[in-house]
Each structure stands twice: as structure tokens, then as C-alpha cells.
């Protein structure tokens, strides 16, 4: 078939004289426009096959190739969501026609709709795909320089023990257990929600995560303190595989209306679930835990990621600063 529809969008499907199959979105709901796109691609395929010209590749082909090569990556599904949104701007566009101005127009629109930080994730994906197309696939000679937006440094949001107690008193029992375990271990929401009993050893008091379960793709283990251990003991027998459940089923989302209402009732504003991890790290630093130890406990790959907590240990730094007094030792 030359043209077919997926939903309301027309797609092109043909085989070139050299036997290569081309199957790509025309990026339009208009059949006539799709036919013109088809004819153009087929003519180019003929020139490539008969005259030896290099084919003109489109964004659709590059996006498809990217998804094919990165299907094993943790961000695969996220990339698919981003690419669906980008299709409205880049669908059917030849790679050599993608200019810096076009990319920045897309970035500006996403920044307007969401935030500069979110726009940067989309710009980074465009840049990665175009670089692949140029450096590895050799589909295009050069790609535009893409500059990301400057992102404001986010402050560290943490709670005092009194605020945490007020919050815990207002949570439903199953959510309270999730919050306690998160505060006790510093684990990300996804790692807590997806935790399985096969990853838990209560005898050795440890839980572990394989590299494909971690954000940084590095395997990680967590030693269980008394709070975390007690939470796990209370979950025993509730489900054969998953640790945290509600009414017999695994919990899939912690950022619920009940969670937000509990925060409001506790008088806590501007606080996200991920900030529980900030609480854990902040409390460790405030109580004298060295940054390198926080890095190891939290599974961060670089010390730069924990530098944001350094200002929370002024007393410890003051003790080190006093070392100079002994060196100078003025009478």
C-alpha cells in the first residue's frame, strides 16, 4: 500500500527500486498532502537507487531509528511521549532543513507551556537525535547548535521533625508507611513503590536494587535502620511480590489527592514527594554525616549532587575552621 491511516494521520509505505522499504508518517491529516509527500519520497528513492545520490532523511526516520536503538533504555517511554509532542513541529521535515531557529521556536513554545527546565529535556532529545544522525548514521552533514535554557538552581526543601510528625498524623495508614520508609531510606518514589520482597533481606537488614532499577543505572543497596526495618516487618504477608500495597493491590502512585490534602491540613506548602529525599539527606548532614557518606547512602554518582546540602552543616565546618587556631597559636 502507498498510503494508509493511523488514527487521523496519513502514513507512507513503499519499497524503493533497490528493495529498501520506507514506512514513515506524512505528518498530515490531508490525503492530498500525504500523496505529495509520498511522491517526493519515492522520487528521491529512485534517484538514490538509480543515480547513486544520497537520500534525504526526515525527522520521522531519525526519530524511529532513535527509538529502535534506545528501546532498552530506562527513558524509552519518556522519549516516546516527547517525540509525539515534537511531531507537530518536526513531522516530515528533512533533517538538513532543521535549523537552529526552528529548534529554538520549539523550545520557546515548550518553555511557555511548561517551564525552561521541561523545555530543556525536549531540546536535549532533539540534539541527541540530530547528533546521532550526523555522527553515527551519516544521514546529514551538519546539525545546528542547540543551546539549552538556563535553569534556576532549586532550593533544597526539607521539613523539621515537628512538621513531619504533623504530616504523619494526617496520613492514611498505607501512605504513612510509604512516607516513613522514604524518610528512613532516602529512596526515590519509584524505588519505594516498586520494591519487591525478592529485593529484601530482613535477616541481613538490607534491600538492594539492580542497575536497571536505578535512575543513574548503577546498582545500589540500602542498609535498613530500625525505622525502615519496622515498616517492612509490618508489610509482611500482605502481598506475595510487592512490599507496599493498599487493599491487597500494589500502590502505583503516591502523589494522590489524599497526600496533598494531608500536606495542606498540616500547614505544609510547596512540598513534593521527592522532597522527602531532601529531608533525609538534610537531616543526615545536619547531624554530622559527611557528604561522601551521604553520597554513598543516597546512591549519587558524584559529590556535586550532594553539595546542595553542604550549607546545612555550618557547625561541623566551624569545628574544622578552628584547626587554624591551633596552627597560628598566637600568644
List the chain domain ranges. Answer: 1-55, 59-152, 161-273
Distance CA 5, CA 107 (A): 29
Residue among 11, 89, 280, 309 flagged as catalytic: 309
Residue among 38, 82, 110, 277 flagged as catalytic: 277
Output the pLDDT for position 179.
Answer: 93
Phi, psi of 56 (to 5 degrees): -95, 115
In this predicted model, which residue has the larger pLDDT, 164 or 212? 164
Residue among 135, 260, 274, 311 flagged as catalytic: 274
Give the range among 77-91, 142-156, 157-171 with minimum mean pLDDT.
Answer: 142-156
Arithmetic mean of pLDDT, 162-186: 92
The conformation of residue 52, written as its DSSP 8-state character, comes to -
* Confidence tier at 90 by pLDDT (50, 70, 90): very high
Cell readout for 98 is 532543521
Distance CA 110, CA 130 (A): 19
Output the pLDDT for position 321.
Answer: 66
* Confidence tier at 313 by pLDDT (50, 70, 90): low
Cell readout for 205 is 537488614
Counting Cα atoms < 13 Å in the Cβ hemisphere of 197 gives 14
Cell readout for 100 is 537552529
pLDDT at 302 over 70: yes
Is 205 annotated in the active site? no
Is 137 annotated in the active site? no
pLDDT at 109 over 90: yes
CA dihedral of 292, 293, 294, 295, whole degrees rounded to 10: 50
Measured between alpha carbons, how far is residue 232 from residues 191, 224, 248, 254 in Å?
14, 9, 16, 17
Cell readout for 201 is 533481606
Q: Which of 281, 291, 256, 253 is nearest to 159 (CA)?
A: 281
Q: Which CATH number does the domain 161-273 belong to among 3.40.50.620, 3.30.70.260, 1.10.443.10, 3.40.640.10?
A: 1.10.443.10
Residue among 23, 132, 176, 215 flagged as catalytic: 215
Give the range among 108-112, 187-191, 194-198, 209-213 with minimum mean pLDDT.
Answer: 209-213
Sheet holding 206-209, edge to edge: 200-201, 206-209, 220-223
* Confidence tier at 93 by pLDDT (50, 70, 90): very high
What is the Cα 5 distance to its own chain's centre? 32
Is 292 annotated in the active site? no
Distance CA 172, CA 176 (A): 6
Is 274 annotated in the active site? yes
Is 59 annotated in the active site? no
* Confidence tier at 285 by pLDDT (50, 70, 90): confident
Residue among 38, 188, 220, 278 flagged as catalytic: 188
Cell readout for 200 is 529484601
Is 188 annotated in the active site? yes
pTM confidence score = 0.59
* CATH topology classification for 1-55: GCC-box Binding Domain (3.30.730)
> 121-124 — which CB contacts under 8 Å span 24+ positions?
121/82, 122/82, 122/85, 122/86, 123/148, 123/149, 124/148
Amino acid at each position: 500500500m502507498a498510503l494508509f491511516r493511523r488514527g487521523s494521520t496519513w502514513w507512507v509505505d513503499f519499497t524503493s527500486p533497490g528493495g529498501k522499504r520506507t514506512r514513515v508518517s506524512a505528518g498530515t491529516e490531508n490525503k492530498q498532502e500525504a500523496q505529495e509527500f509520498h511522491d517526493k519520497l519515492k522520487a528521491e528513492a529512485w534517484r538514490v537507487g538509480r543515480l547513486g545520490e544520497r537520500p534525504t532523511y526526515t525527522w520521522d526516520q531519525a526519530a524511529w531509528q532513535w527509538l529502535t536503538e534506545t528501546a532498552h533504555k530506562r527513558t524509552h517511554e519518556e522519549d516516546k511521549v516527547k517525540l509525539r509532542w515534537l511531531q507537530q513541529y518536526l513531522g516530515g521535515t528533512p533533517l538538513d532543513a532543521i535549523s537552529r531557529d526552528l529548534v529554538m521556536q520549539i523550545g520557546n513554545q515548550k518553555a511557555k507551556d511548561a517551564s525552561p527546565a521541561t523545555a530543556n529535556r525536549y531540546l536535549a532529545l532533539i540534539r541527541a537525535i540530530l547528533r546521532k544522525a550526523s555522527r553515527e548514521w551519516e544521514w546529514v552533514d551538519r546539525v545546528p547548535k542547540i543551546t539549552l535554557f538556563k535553569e534556576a538552581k532549586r532550593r533544597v526543601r526539607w521539613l523539621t521533625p515537628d512538621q513531619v510528625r504533623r504530616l504523619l498524623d494526617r496520613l492514611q495508614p498505607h501512605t504513612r508507611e510509604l512516607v516513613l520508609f522514604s524518610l528512613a531510606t532516602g529512596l526515590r518514589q519509584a524505588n519505594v513503590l516498586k520494591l519487591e520482597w525478592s529485593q529484601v533481606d530482613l535477616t541481613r537488614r538490607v534491600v538492594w536494587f539492580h542497575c536497571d532499577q536505578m535512575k543513574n543505572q548503577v546498582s545500589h543497596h540500602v542498609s535498613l535502620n530500625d525505622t525502615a526495618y519496622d515498616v517492612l516487618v509490618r508489610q509482611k504477608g500482605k502481598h506475595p511480590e510487592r512490599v507496599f500495597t493498599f487493599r491487597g493491590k500494589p500502590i502505583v502512585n503516591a502523589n494522590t489527592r489524599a497526600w496533598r490534602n494531608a500536606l495542606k491540613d498540616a500547614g505544609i506548602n510547596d512540598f513534593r514527594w521527592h522532597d522527602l529525599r531532601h529531608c533525609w539527606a538534610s537531616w543526615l548532614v545536619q547531624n554530622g554525616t559527611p557528604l561522601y557518606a551521604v553520597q554513598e547512602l543516597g546512591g549519587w554518582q558524584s559529590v556535586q549532587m550532594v553539595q546542595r546540602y553542604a550549607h546545612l552543616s555550618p557547625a561541623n565546618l566551624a569545628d574544622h575552621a578552628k584547626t587554624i587556631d591551633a596552627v597560628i597559636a598566637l600568644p
